[in-house]
Structure 1
Amino acid sequence: MIGHDKGRPGAESAGDPYVPNHGNGGYQVTWYELDLDYRVSSNRLTGKATIRATATQSLSRFSLDLTGLRVSKVFVNGRRGARYVHRGHKLHITPVVDIAEGADFVVDVHYSGNPAPVDSPWGELGWEELTEGVIVASQPTGAATWFPCNDHPSDKAHYKLTVTTDSPYQVIANGRLVSRRTKASRTTWVYDQTAPMATYLATVQIGRYDVLELASSPVVQRAVLPVAQIKDFRSDFGRQRDMMKLFCKLFGPYPFGSYTVVVTDDPLEIPLEAQGISVFGSNHVDGRRGSERLVAHELSHQWFGNSLTPSRWQDIWLNEGFACYAEWLWSEESGGLSAVQQISKAHSRLAGLPQDLVISDPGPELMFDDRLYKRGAITLHVLREQLGDDAFFELLRAWTRAHRHGSVTAVEFRALAASSATDADAVQAIFSAWLDSAALPPLQRTARRRRGRLRR
């Protein structure tokens, strides 16, 4: 990450051109401890963030991302006297004593306000009020709407989240529920996320929810949702346990301790993933499995995006291309269209759309374009055709195993795929044609005709 030298202004960015004003240089966070008090009726948040970090070079000052909330106190290594300036979405901190390169340090930030989502090129991001509660959707740059952070996916850390709110409400956050205690009309929930997590995957969900236990193996799965949705939910998510079994077989062991699905009482444009959690809107529950492909898509993100997190947003296809292909793998396994049939449909649609998107470098405006999802998925299937099923799925398992809970790049995946092939040049040619060129390649005859399904 870009850092800043002693005595000169700090880098107020992670150096990612896709999000040039987000993230910060000069340090890596190892721990976030967030103690939040939230009043649902007034949308009032009071917080204390304790951030443990290691300086990657000498620091006379450093920055955190925080937007829309007011800072009242800042301590560095427990000492009063640190100067700070909060401008826009940057909190600039000057410690009393410079921090040496390689030194561990602790920052305490006390803050409060009425959190709200921020506008972005990708829509509204961050902490948002629901009719009854809260949803947090931070991808890619909304985490700073509710806690001070180094808001870039390359900086993954451990989290402890303590949330106190009104007792009728359930609180869902990342990791294992360590404790829940009620005092008068308020309940405090404590969650511990031991697996390293990117800021955009951190979340708090608050609502009047019931808890539904779904499965105990191969992974503990539960749902948190309004009681009125339970009947339809059982139909719409009834095959999620089978999805989990399939994905564990194809992608390797599930990377976290459990998996929770939240269904809000409000409609959502799209579902969203968080680490160990997926969030759906009331519109995704219809009793007819109308959103089952999205159930598969969000589940697969636990491997591709959450455990293996892109080091830079340019490589977003490592999240979305893989998740889209997981949809097609589930369709193939469950008696729907085969992956080849899905690809034929997607390719025909892509052929009628503008050919102005390079998957390996889509640019920030188009990094969540549906063409990236579909073409990334087709790329994986063409690679599967080249390698054969056994080698292809062993490649995916090797990929998730080697980088479990880490940060990854597309360069690393391409190199691993080439090293797994008997014809590395052919694999590189696939990537070059499908990822590095805007023009849509034709589908090969074998890909059009093959109708085989996954071997059990």
Structure 2
Amino acid sequence: MDPQAGPPAGACRSADSYLPEHGNGGYRVEHYDLDLAYKVRSNRLSGRATLTAVARQPLGRFSLDLGAFTVPRVTVDGKQARFIHRGGKLHVTPARPVASGASFVVEVRYGGNPRPIDSPWGDIGWDELTDGALVAAQPVGAPSWFPCNDHPADKAAYRIAVTVEAPYTVLATGVPTARRRSAGSRTWVFERPEPTASYLVSVQIGRYEQLVLARGGVPQVAGVPARLRKNAARDLGRHGQIMTTCEGFFGPYPFGDYVVVVTDDDLDDPIEAQGMSIFGANHVDGKRTHERLVVHELAHQWFGNSLTIADWRHIWLNEGFATYAEWLWSEASGGPAAQAHAHEWHAAVARLPADLVLADPGVERLFDQRVYKRGALALHALRLRIGDERFFALLRTWTTQHRHGSVTTEQFTALACVHAGADLSPFFSEWLYGQALPDLPR
């Protein structure tokens, strides 16, 4: 380790307009291979992360995002590398520079007590439960448990192996591919071949039983504590119908499976991950009180996960679409129509300060409820403006053209104009770039 070596200019920053300190320049990651061992009682994580990456420019040095762990060793292409680990960045100097366009392999050994990362939105990342652990990484929590290029546009494939004590079950991002037993422990292996943003990679550890949510089509299962099984079976009982309805609106489900986790602890909000959603014990009451949240998190598999925003300022493309999915399910399942929800929330948003620009809300307002509700209102207004046939064709084209890619507001508005067969610039200027809340079209 060379304490004098500093990172090159731009290497430890991304091009993100909101969170440039998260993510790194000069390369992209193609694959992460994570081998983890976790002890629940002592909250001790030991890891070996192997990253296969491609250089975008000549690299004499590069950086990764990583939280407060001890790092005893880093290699690049099998050769020991010099490194500095400080301020949430692991700065690496390979034995030999990496040529532009070349593929290279980084291996990082690390360990310690994982803890969430402080952020303007609270503690984010790996967190202890009463009897287990969870990952809630949006938007900057991934470095709390593995070294990564922590930017939503840097999407990669994953293999994750987690070893825990025998009483515990592991549910992680990816399709389960192997399970191994040894004295007192179990190793669970998952693979996610689809390109995945680091904040959408998750590990859930607890005493879970499996609950099948739907048979046929997309495999849909839940991991639930025994005491919550009855309530979860009721509250998630229409999940197969919800999936079919969402596929009708948005096109084929974009991943190989879908897993719901219900923790034994209460959670403030549900959490989305790639092919997975996580709910707290407080979200299952046997009365389907929170079914809209079940729909919301499933919709993120299209909007946010398959179609991942290229920059955090485009967050409405995640939350506005997922919120509008709630209204669509309500309409499709015999509840209030989307029009009724739109009028209710238009009145509610109109009572709030008119100081938010939907397409650029600012980092402090990344998760402002107006991003969610005004985003859904903008979509409903667009539906009224261009008609159902063109609107739903637009949504299906949007998810198909950009499947497993990165998206921007400008891409969506351009595609909407194509489907409308008209220039919608004045419409989008009001709804996405103006502060005042427009009236809903009649």
What TM-score range do you get, normalising by the shorter chain? over 0.9
Once the two structures are TM-superposed, the CA of residue 338 in structure 1 deviates from its matched residue by 0.6
Q: Secondary structure in 1 aligned to 2:79?
A: coil
Q: Tell me the alpha carbon deviations over residues 122-156 of structure 1, each in whole angstroms, 9 at most, x when there is no partner.
A: 11100000001001000000000000000000100
Does the 8 Å contact 1:10/1:61 carry over to 2? no
- Alignment partner, residue 317 of structure 2: 318
User: What does residue range 79-90 of structure 1 map to in structure 2 within 5 Å?
Assistant: 79-80=79-80, 82-90=81-89
Once the two structures are TM-superposed, the CA of residue 10 in structure 1 deviates from its matched residue by 4.3
User: What does residue range 172-211 of structure 1 map to in structure 2 within 5 Å?
Assistant: 172-211=171-210
Partners of 2:8 and 2:191 in 1: how far apart?
37
The ranges of structure 1 where at least 4 consecutive aligned residues each deviate by more than 2 angstroms after the TM superposition are 6-11
Give, as a single letter, the amino acid of the residue that structure 2 aligns with 1:430. Answer: F
Of the three residues 426, 429, 433, the one matched with 1:429 is 426
Give, as a single letter, the amino acid of the residue that structure 1 aligns with 2:91. Answer: H
Q: 1:8 to 1:210 in 2, by over 3 A?
A: closer
Does the 8 Å contact 1:7/1:60 carry over to 2? no
Give, as a single letter, the amino acid of the residue that structure 1 aligns with 2:86. Answer: R
User: What does residue range 28-427 of structure 1 map to in structure 2 within 5 Å?
Assistant: 28-80=28-80, 82-422=81-421, 424-425=422-423, 427=424
- Alignment partner, residue 3 of structure 1: none
- Alignment partner, residue 22 of structure 1: 22
- Alignment partner, residue 449 of structure 1: none
Q: Secondary structure in 2 aligned to 1:393?
A: helix
Q: Tell me the alpha carbon deviations over residues 286-319 of structure 1, each in whole angstroms, 9 at most, x when there is no partner.
A: 1111101101000100000000000100000000
Give the TM-score normalised by the residue count of structure 2. 0.97
Q: Secondary structure in 1 aligned to 2:254?
A: coil
Q: Secondary structure in 2 aligned to 1:101?
A: coil
Does the 8 Å contact 1:10/1:62 carry over to 2? no
Q: Tell me the alpha carbon deviations over residues 8-47 of structure 1, each in whole angstroms, 9 at most, x when there is no partner.
A: 4442111212112110000000000000000111000000
Are 1:439 and 2:429 matched, yes or no? no
Q: Tell me the alpha carbon deviations over residues 177-209 of structure 1, each in whole angstroms, 9 at most, x when there is no partner.
A: 110011010000110101110000000000001
Give, as a single letter, the amino acid of the residue that structure 2 aligns with 1:273. Answer: E
Partners of 1:217 and 1:120 in 2: how far apart?
41
Any gaps of 5 or more consecutive residues in structure 2?
A: 1-5
Partners of 1:375 and 1:304 in 2: how far apart?
16
Partners of 2:7 and 2:70 in 1: how far apart?
27
Any gaps of 5 or more consecutive residues in structure 1?
A: 1-5, 447-456
Once the two structures are TM-superposed, the CA of residue 100 in structure 1 deviates from its matched residue by 0.7
Partners of 1:238 and 1:8 in 2: how far apart?
53
Once the two structures are TM-superposed, the CA of residue 421 in structure 1 deviates from its matched residue by 1.0
Mean CA deviation greater in 427-436 or 171-180:
427-436
Partners of 1:211 and 1:429 in 2: how far apart?
50
- Percent identical pairs in the alignment equals 56
Give the TM-score normalised by the residue count of structure 1. 0.94
What is the alpha-carbon root mean square deviation over aligned residues?
Answer: 1.1
Give, as a single letter, the amino acid of the residue that structure 1 aligns with 2:17. Answer: P
Give, as a single letter, the amino acid of the residue that structure 2 aligns with 1:33. Answer: D
